Amino acid sequence: MTRRFALTWQLSEIHGWGLIGVHTALHLTAQGNPPLLLDTPMMDSLRPENRAALQSLEDEHRRYMAMLAPYGDGTVAIPDVDILHALGNGFLAGAPSRRFQGDRNIGVIAFEDTRLDAAVLERARAFDRIVVHSTYNRDLLLEQGLTEIGLAFQGVDPTEIRPMPPSGRFGDRFVLFSGGKLEFRKGQDIALMAFRLFRQRHPEALLVTAWQSPWPEVALGIGESPLTRVPPNIGTDGRLQVVDWAAHYGLPAGSVVDLGMVGRGGIASILSDCHAAIFPNRCEGATNLVAMEAMGCGVPVVLSANTGHLDLIGPADDPHCWPLTRQTQLFHNGNRKGWKESSVDEIVAQLEAIHASPQEARRRADRALAFIQGERTWGSFAKSFIEICSL
Protein backbone atom coordinates (compact mmCIF):
# COMPACT_ATOMS: atom_id res chain seq x y z
CA MET A 1 0.00 0.00 0.00
CA THR A 2 1.29 3.48 -0.88
CA ARG A 3 2.09 5.48 2.23
CA ARG A 4 0.66 8.93 2.68
CA PHE A 5 3.01 11.48 4.20
CA ALA A 6 2.37 14.60 6.25
CA LEU A 7 4.79 17.51 6.68
CA THR A 8 5.05 19.47 9.93
CA TRP A 9 6.87 22.49 8.53
CA GLN A 10 5.95 25.47 6.44
CA LEU A 11 6.24 25.38 2.66
CA SER A 12 7.99 28.46 1.28
CA GLU A 13 10.67 29.52 -1.17
CA ILE A 14 12.50 31.90 1.15
CA HIS A 15 14.56 29.47 3.23
CA GLY A 16 16.00 25.96 3.10
CA TRP A 17 13.32 24.18 5.10
CA GLY A 18 10.64 25.74 2.95
CA LEU A 19 12.35 24.57 -0.24
CA ILE A 20 12.66 21.03 1.12
CA GLY A 21 8.93 21.07 1.73
CA VAL A 22 8.02 22.58 -1.63
CA HIS A 23 10.01 20.10 -3.68
CA THR A 24 8.96 17.13 -1.58
CA ALA A 25 5.33 18.19 -2.02
CA LEU A 26 5.80 18.69 -5.77
CA HIS A 27 7.29 15.21 -6.10
CA LEU A 28 4.57 13.52 -4.07
CA THR A 29 1.81 15.41 -5.88
CA ALA A 30 3.26 14.43 -9.26
CA GLN A 31 3.23 10.80 -8.06
CA GLY A 32 -0.48 11.09 -7.27
CA ASN A 33 0.12 10.96 -3.53
CA PRO A 34 -0.04 14.58 -2.30
CA PRO A 35 1.09 15.16 1.29
CA LEU A 36 -1.00 16.49 4.14
CA LEU A 37 0.31 19.85 5.37
CA LEU A 38 0.27 20.31 9.15
CA ASP A 39 1.60 23.88 9.08
CA THR A 40 0.21 26.78 7.06
CA PRO A 41 2.15 27.15 3.78
CA MET A 42 3.50 30.54 2.66
CA MET A 43 1.89 30.27 -0.76
CA ASP A 44 2.64 33.90 -1.64
CA SER A 45 6.38 33.10 -1.53
CA LEU A 46 6.11 30.40 -4.19
CA ARG A 47 6.74 30.91 -7.88
CA PRO A 48 3.43 30.96 -9.79
CA GLU A 49 3.89 27.52 -11.32
CA ASN A 50 4.66 25.92 -7.96
CA ARG A 51 1.82 27.76 -6.27
CA ALA A 52 -0.61 26.47 -8.90
CA ALA A 53 0.65 22.89 -8.52
CA LEU A 54 0.31 22.93 -4.73
CA GLN A 55 -2.79 25.09 -4.20
CA SER A 56 -4.96 22.09 -3.44
CA LEU A 57 -2.67 21.24 -0.49
CA GLU A 58 -3.38 24.60 1.14
CA ASP A 59 -7.11 24.06 0.63
CA GLU A 60 -6.94 20.65 2.33
CA HIS A 61 -4.82 22.09 5.16
CA ARG A 62 -7.49 24.71 5.89
CA ARG A 63 -10.25 22.12 5.91
CA TYR A 64 -8.27 19.81 8.15
CA MET A 65 -7.40 22.52 10.68
CA ALA A 66 -11.03 23.70 10.74
CA MET A 67 -12.18 20.13 11.44
CA LEU A 68 -9.74 19.89 14.38
CA ALA A 69 -10.50 23.34 15.82
CA PRO A 70 -13.16 22.12 18.28
CA TYR A 71 -10.60 19.78 19.88
CA GLY A 72 -8.18 22.52 20.93
CA ASP A 73 -4.42 21.96 21.04
CA GLY A 74 -4.41 18.39 22.33
CA THR A 75 -2.35 15.63 20.76
CA VAL A 76 -3.84 14.25 17.54
CA ALA A 77 -3.09 10.77 16.19
CA ILE A 78 -3.49 10.66 12.42
CA PRO A 79 -4.20 7.13 11.15
CA ASP A 80 -2.72 5.75 7.92
CA VAL A 81 -0.23 8.63 7.66
CA ASP A 82 3.54 8.77 8.19
CA ILE A 83 4.55 12.16 9.56
CA LEU A 84 7.82 13.83 8.60
CA HIS A 85 8.88 16.00 11.56
CA ALA A 86 11.15 19.02 11.09
CA LEU A 87 13.72 19.10 13.90
CA GLY A 88 16.19 21.72 15.04
CA ASN A 89 19.43 21.53 16.99
CA GLY A 90 19.02 19.21 19.97
CA PHE A 91 16.35 17.28 18.06
CA LEU A 92 13.81 19.80 19.24
CA ALA A 93 10.50 19.79 17.41
CA GLY A 94 8.16 22.62 16.52
CA ALA A 95 4.55 23.03 17.59
CA PRO A 96 2.97 20.90 14.81
CA SER A 97 5.28 17.98 15.64
CA ARG A 98 4.38 18.22 19.31
CA ARG A 99 0.70 18.09 18.43
CA PHE A 100 0.53 15.43 15.71
CA GLN A 101 1.60 11.79 15.68
CA GLY A 102 1.34 9.37 12.77
CA ASP A 103 1.54 5.63 12.21
CA ARG A 104 5.26 6.22 11.78
CA ASN A 105 7.15 9.33 12.80
CA ILE A 106 10.27 10.27 10.88
CA GLY A 107 12.62 13.00 12.08
CA VAL A 108 14.23 15.25 9.48
CA ILE A 109 17.21 17.30 10.60
CA ALA A 110 20.34 19.24 9.63
CA PHE A 111 22.16 20.03 12.86
CA GLU A 112 25.27 21.99 13.80
CA ASP A 113 25.10 21.68 17.59
CA THR A 114 26.94 18.41 18.19
CA ARG A 115 26.18 18.06 21.90
CA LEU A 116 24.42 14.69 21.72
CA ASP A 117 23.84 14.12 25.41
CA ALA A 118 21.43 11.63 26.97
CA ALA A 119 18.40 13.93 26.67
CA VAL A 120 19.11 14.69 23.00
CA LEU A 121 19.61 11.02 22.17
CA GLU A 122 16.39 10.12 23.94
CA ARG A 123 14.52 12.58 21.73
CA ALA A 124 16.28 11.19 18.63
CA ARG A 125 15.42 7.59 19.49
CA ALA A 126 11.74 8.48 19.80
CA PHE A 127 11.53 8.54 15.99
CA ASP A 128 11.11 5.47 13.81
CA ARG A 129 13.73 6.83 11.43
CA ILE A 130 15.89 9.93 11.08
CA VAL A 131 16.83 11.53 7.77
CA VAL A 132 19.85 13.85 7.51
CA HIS A 133 21.37 15.79 4.61
CA SER A 134 25.14 15.25 4.99
CA THR A 135 27.57 12.46 5.72
CA TYR A 136 28.83 14.71 8.54
CA ASN A 137 25.47 14.52 10.35
CA ARG A 138 24.99 10.84 9.50
CA ASP A 139 28.36 9.84 10.93
CA LEU A 140 27.82 11.83 14.13
CA LEU A 141 24.62 9.88 14.75
CA LEU A 142 26.09 6.52 13.82
CA GLU A 143 28.88 7.17 16.34
CA GLN A 144 26.18 7.39 19.01
CA GLY A 145 24.75 4.00 18.12
CA LEU A 146 21.69 5.22 16.20
CA THR A 147 21.05 2.90 13.26
CA GLU A 148 17.83 3.97 11.52
CA ILE A 149 19.54 6.84 9.69
CA GLY A 150 18.85 7.85 6.11
CA LEU A 151 20.84 10.31 3.99
CA ALA A 152 19.24 12.48 1.30
CA PHE A 153 21.31 15.25 -0.29
CA GLN A 154 19.57 18.56 -0.96
CA GLY A 155 19.72 20.14 -4.40
CA VAL A 156 18.77 22.95 -6.75
CA ASP A 157 16.03 23.46 -9.30
CA PRO A 158 17.76 23.53 -12.72
CA THR A 159 14.83 25.39 -14.25
CA GLU A 160 15.64 28.24 -11.86
CA ILE A 161 19.35 27.80 -11.06
CA ARG A 162 21.33 27.66 -14.29
CA PRO A 163 24.09 29.56 -16.11
CA MET A 164 22.91 32.76 -17.75
CA PRO A 165 24.67 35.29 -20.00
CA PRO A 166 26.32 38.04 -17.93
CA SER A 167 24.33 41.26 -17.79
CA GLY A 168 27.34 43.51 -17.29
CA ARG A 169 25.66 45.33 -14.40
CA PHE A 170 28.98 45.58 -12.54
CA GLY A 171 31.00 46.79 -15.50
CA ASP A 172 34.55 45.47 -15.76
CA ARG A 173 34.92 44.78 -12.02
CA PHE A 174 36.22 41.41 -10.78
CA VAL A 175 33.16 40.35 -8.83
CA LEU A 176 33.18 38.07 -5.79
CA PHE A 177 29.94 36.75 -4.31
CA SER A 178 29.25 35.87 -0.68
CA GLY A 179 25.81 34.61 0.37
CA GLY A 180 23.88 33.08 3.23
CA LYS A 181 22.39 34.66 6.32
CA LEU A 182 25.07 36.57 8.19
CA GLU A 183 26.18 34.59 11.24
CA PHE A 184 29.31 33.25 12.91
CA ARG A 185 28.72 29.72 11.62
CA LYS A 186 28.68 30.80 7.98
CA GLY A 187 31.94 32.73 8.21
CA GLN A 188 31.15 35.96 6.40
CA ASP A 189 33.69 37.64 8.69
CA ILE A 190 36.39 35.42 7.15
CA ALA A 191 35.17 36.25 3.65
CA LEU A 192 35.23 39.97 4.45
CA MET A 193 38.81 39.90 5.73
CA ALA A 194 39.97 37.84 2.76
CA PHE A 195 38.30 40.26 0.37
CA ARG A 196 40.00 43.19 2.10
CA LEU A 197 43.41 41.63 1.44
CA PHE A 198 42.52 40.59 -2.12
CA ARG A 199 41.29 44.08 -2.93
CA GLN A 200 44.64 45.58 -1.88
CA ARG A 201 46.17 43.71 -4.81
CA HIS A 202 43.17 44.12 -7.12
CA PRO A 203 41.47 47.46 -6.46
CA GLU A 204 38.92 46.73 -9.20
CA ALA A 205 37.50 43.86 -7.13
CA LEU A 206 33.93 44.10 -5.87
CA LEU A 207 32.28 42.07 -3.11
CA VAL A 208 28.60 41.40 -3.76
CA THR A 209 26.77 40.18 -0.64
CA ALA A 210 23.45 38.43 -0.06
CA TRP A 211 23.64 38.34 3.74
CA GLN A 212 20.24 39.69 4.72
CA SER A 213 17.66 37.37 6.24
CA PRO A 214 14.33 37.52 8.07
CA TRP A 215 16.33 36.96 11.28
CA PRO A 216 18.84 39.84 11.40
CA GLU A 217 19.49 39.38 15.13
CA VAL A 218 21.34 36.12 14.34
CA ALA A 219 24.12 38.28 12.86
CA LEU A 220 25.02 39.66 16.28
CA GLY A 221 26.81 36.39 16.99
CA ILE A 222 29.48 37.38 14.47
CA GLY A 223 30.96 39.36 17.36
CA GLU A 224 32.34 36.02 18.56
CA SER A 225 34.76 36.10 15.64
CA PRO A 226 38.39 36.99 16.40
CA LEU A 227 38.36 38.87 13.08
CA THR A 228 35.28 41.08 13.55
CA ARG A 229 34.59 41.78 17.20
CA VAL A 230 32.04 44.45 16.30
CA PRO A 231 28.90 43.02 14.65
CA PRO A 232 26.86 44.97 12.10
CA ASN A 233 24.11 47.27 13.28
CA ILE A 234 20.48 46.56 12.50
CA GLY A 235 18.76 49.54 10.91
CA THR A 236 15.32 50.84 11.75
CA ASP A 237 14.08 48.99 8.66
CA GLY A 238 15.21 45.69 10.20
CA ARG A 239 18.06 45.27 7.71
CA LEU A 240 21.68 44.67 8.55
CA GLN A 241 23.85 47.67 7.74
CA VAL A 242 26.28 45.59 5.72
CA VAL A 243 28.08 48.37 3.85
CA ASP A 244 28.66 50.33 7.05
CA TRP A 245 29.97 47.18 8.72
CA ALA A 246 32.42 46.62 5.87
CA ALA A 247 33.52 50.25 6.09
CA HIS A 248 34.24 49.76 9.80
CA TYR A 249 36.81 47.19 8.74
CA GLY A 250 38.46 49.39 6.15
CA LEU A 251 36.52 48.74 2.96
CA PRO A 252 35.68 52.00 1.18
CA ALA A 253 32.42 53.02 -0.44
CA GLY A 254 31.87 51.28 -3.74
CA SER A 255 33.83 48.14 -2.84
CA VAL A 256 30.92 46.24 -1.26
CA VAL A 257 27.35 45.82 -2.53
CA ASP A 258 24.45 44.78 -0.30
CA LEU A 259 21.86 43.03 -2.46
CA GLY A 260 19.24 43.01 0.28
CA MET A 261 16.72 40.18 0.27
CA VAL A 262 17.15 38.39 -3.05
CA GLY A 263 14.06 36.73 -4.52
CA ARG A 264 14.26 33.29 -6.10
CA GLY A 265 13.88 34.76 -9.56
CA GLY A 266 16.93 37.00 -9.20
CA ILE A 267 19.54 34.55 -7.94
CA ALA A 268 20.79 33.12 -11.25
CA SER A 269 20.95 36.54 -12.88
CA ILE A 270 23.11 37.95 -10.08
CA LEU A 271 25.44 34.95 -10.01
CA SER A 272 25.92 35.19 -13.78
CA ASP A 273 27.81 38.45 -13.17
CA CYS A 274 30.20 36.99 -10.58
CA HIS A 275 33.69 35.64 -11.22
CA ALA A 276 33.90 33.62 -7.99
CA ALA A 277 31.93 32.80 -4.84
CA ILE A 278 33.42 32.43 -1.36
CA PHE A 279 32.05 30.08 1.32
CA PRO A 280 34.47 29.78 4.28
CA ASN A 281 31.70 28.37 6.48
CA ARG A 282 32.74 27.02 9.86
CA CYS A 283 30.00 24.41 9.80
CA GLU A 284 27.18 23.17 7.59
CA GLY A 285 24.79 20.54 8.89
CA ALA A 286 23.55 20.00 5.33
CA THR A 287 25.55 20.86 2.21
CA ASN A 288 24.93 24.62 1.83
CA LEU A 289 22.16 25.53 -0.58
CA VAL A 290 23.70 28.86 -1.58
CA ALA A 291 27.01 27.22 -2.49
CA MET A 292 25.14 24.68 -4.61
CA GLU A 293 23.25 27.49 -6.31
CA ALA A 294 26.54 29.17 -7.19
CA MET A 295 27.90 25.91 -8.58
CA GLY A 296 24.64 25.34 -10.43
CA CYS A 297 25.05 28.74 -12.11
CA GLY A 298 28.57 27.89 -13.29
CA VAL A 299 30.40 30.14 -10.83
CA PRO A 300 33.87 29.07 -9.57
CA VAL A 301 33.47 28.35 -5.86
CA VAL A 302 35.94 28.60 -2.96
CA LEU A 303 34.69 26.18 -0.30
CA SER A 304 35.85 25.33 3.22
CA ALA A 305 36.76 21.65 3.51
CA ASN A 306 34.71 20.79 6.58
CA THR A 307 31.41 19.30 7.76
CA GLY A 308 28.67 19.26 5.11
CA HIS A 309 30.84 20.96 2.50
CA LEU A 310 32.85 17.75 2.18
CA ASP A 311 29.93 16.29 0.20
CA LEU A 312 30.34 19.00 -2.45
CA ILE A 313 34.09 19.25 -2.98
CA GLY A 314 34.63 16.20 -5.17
CA PRO A 315 37.74 14.04 -5.59
CA ALA A 316 40.88 15.24 -3.83
CA ASP A 317 43.01 14.99 -6.98
CA ASP A 318 40.57 16.98 -9.14
CA PRO A 319 38.00 18.84 -6.99
CA HIS A 320 34.89 20.58 -8.27
CA CYS A 321 35.92 23.77 -6.49
CA TRP A 322 38.84 25.49 -4.75
CA PRO A 323 38.86 23.77 -1.36
CA LEU A 324 40.16 25.46 1.77
CA THR A 325 42.17 22.71 3.42
CA ARG A 326 44.10 24.81 5.96
CA GLN A 327 41.47 24.24 8.62
CA THR A 328 41.85 24.80 12.37
CA GLN A 329 39.58 22.73 14.59
CA LEU A 330 37.11 24.70 16.73
CA PHE A 331 35.91 23.21 20.01
CA HIS A 332 33.37 24.87 22.29
CA ASN A 333 32.25 22.79 25.28
CA GLY A 334 31.70 19.79 23.04
CA ASN A 335 28.92 21.29 20.95
CA ARG A 336 31.02 22.11 17.87
CA LYS A 337 32.60 18.85 16.85
CA GLY A 338 33.84 19.20 13.27
CA TRP A 339 33.56 23.00 13.16
CA LYS A 340 36.68 24.50 11.58
CA GLU A 341 38.23 27.89 10.94
CA SER A 342 39.47 28.69 7.43
CA SER A 343 42.68 30.55 6.69
CA VAL A 344 42.22 34.06 5.33
CA ASP A 345 45.52 33.75 3.49
CA GLU A 346 44.45 30.51 1.81
CA ILE A 347 41.25 32.14 0.58
CA VAL A 348 43.29 34.96 -0.94
CA ALA A 349 45.59 32.42 -2.60
CA GLN A 350 42.63 30.56 -4.10
CA LEU A 351 41.11 33.81 -5.36
CA GLU A 352 44.45 34.71 -6.91
CA ALA A 353 44.48 31.33 -8.68
CA ILE A 354 41.00 31.95 -10.10
CA HIS A 355 41.95 35.48 -11.14
CA ALA A 356 45.20 34.36 -12.80
CA SER A 357 43.81 31.36 -14.68
CA PRO A 358 40.31 31.91 -16.06
CA GLN A 359 40.66 28.77 -18.20
CA GLU A 360 41.19 26.55 -15.14
CA ALA A 361 38.44 28.43 -13.35
CA ARG A 362 36.07 27.62 -16.19
CA ARG A 363 37.12 23.96 -16.28
CA ARG A 364 36.46 23.38 -12.60
CA ALA A 365 33.26 25.40 -12.66
CA ASP A 366 31.99 23.32 -15.58
CA ARG A 367 32.73 20.12 -13.64
CA ALA A 368 30.88 21.50 -10.64
CA LEU A 369 27.95 22.44 -12.86
CA ALA A 370 27.78 18.91 -14.31
CA PHE A 371 27.91 17.47 -10.78
CA ILE A 372 25.06 19.68 -9.55
CA GLN A 373 22.88 19.14 -12.61
CA GLY A 374 23.54 15.40 -12.62
CA GLU A 375 23.41 14.52 -8.91
CA ARG A 376 22.17 17.42 -6.82
CA THR A 377 18.77 18.53 -8.06
CA TRP A 378 15.65 18.93 -5.97
CA GLY A 379 14.04 16.24 -8.10
CA SER A 380 16.77 13.76 -7.18
CA PHE A 381 16.54 14.81 -3.54
CA ALA A 382 12.77 14.36 -3.32
CA LYS A 383 12.88 10.93 -4.95
CA SER A 384 15.58 9.62 -2.62
CA PHE A 385 14.04 11.36 0.40
CA ILE A 386 10.68 9.67 -0.07
CA GLU A 387 12.29 6.32 -0.84
CA ILE A 388 14.23 6.53 2.43
CA CYS A 389 11.17 7.60 4.38
CA SER A 390 9.21 4.67 2.92
CA LEU A 391 11.63 2.02 4.22
Q: Are residues 143 and 194 in the same domain?
A: no
Q: Which residues contact 178 (CB under 8 A, 6 or more apart)?
A: 188, 191, 192, 195, 207, 208, 209, 210, 211, 277, 278, 279
The verdict on 255 and 371 lying in the same domain is: yes
Q: In CATH, what number is assigned to the domain containing residue 319?
A: 3.40.50.2000
> DSSP string covering 296-326, please?
HTT--EEEE-SGGGGGTS--TTS-SSEEE--
Q: Is 75 inside any structural domain?
A: yes
Same domain for 274 and 198?
A: yes
Within a domain: 361: yes
The total domain count for the chain is 2
Considering the domain architecture, whether residues 249 and 188 belong to the same structural domain is answered as yes
pLDDT the model gives residue 334 = 80
> Do 244 and 192 fall within a single domain?
yes
Percent of the chain at pLDDT > 70 equals: 100
pLDDT of 247 reads 97
pLDDT value at position 265?
86
Q: What's the CATH number where 146 sits? A: 3.40.50
**Residue 166 belongs to some domain of the structure:** no
At residue 72 the predicted structure's pLDDT band, cuts being 50, 70 and 90, is confident
Say if residue 38 is exposed, middle or buried (CB neighbours under 10 Å; 0-12, 13-18, 19+).
buried
The predicted structure's pLDDT at residue 360: 96
Give the per-residue pLDDT at 330: 84
Query: Does residue 318 share a domain with residue 245?
Result: yes
Is residue 164 included in any domain, yes or no?
A: no
Cβ neighbourhood burial of 49 (10 Å; 0-12, 13-18, 19+) = exposed
Mean pLDDT of all residues belonging to the chain: 96
- Distance CA(192)–CA(209), nearest Å, equals 10
Residue 56 to residues 34, 51, 62, 200, 283, Cα–Cα distance (Å): 9, 9, 10, 55, 37
Q: What is the pTM of this model?
A: 0.96
pLDDT(283) > 80: yes
Residue 151 sits in the same domain as residue 181: no
Sequence-distant (6+) residues with CB within 8 A of 281 are 180, 185, 186, 187, 288, 304, 306, 307, 309
The per-residue pLDDT for range 333-363, each reduced to its tens digit, is 789 999 999 999 999 999 999 999 999 999 9
| pLDDT for position 70 | 87
Rg (CA), the chain: 21
* pLDDT at residue 1, rounded to an integer: 58
* Cβ 26 vs Cβ 53: under 8 Å: yes
- The boundaries of the domain holding residue 202 are 174-375
* Cβ proximity of 379 and 155 under 8 Å: yes
Residue 143 lies in a domain: yes
Query: How far apart (Å, rounded) are the C-alpha atoms in residues 382 and 50?
Result: 15
284 and 272 share one domain: yes
pLDDT at 126: 97
Pair (138, 180) in one structural domain: no
* Same domain (yes/no): 309, 186: yes
Band of residue 230 on the pLDDT scale cut at 50, 70, 90: very high
Percentage of the chain modeled with pLDDT above 90: 94
- 254 and 367 in a single domain? The answer is yes
Asked whether residue 167 is domain-assigned, the answer is no
> What tens digit of pLDDT does each residue of 168-179 get?
999 999 999 999
Question: Element (H or E) spanning 42, and its range?
Answer: none
Do 92 and 13 sit in the same domain of this protein? Answer: yes
Q: What is the DSSP string of 13-25?
A: SSSHHHHHHHHHH
In a domain, 163, yes or no: no
29: phi then psi, degrees, rounded to nearest 5: -65, -40
pLDDT digit string (tens) for 212-221?
Answer: 999 999 999 9
Decide if 101 is inside a domain.
yes
Task: Give the per-residue pLDDT at 100.
Answer: 96
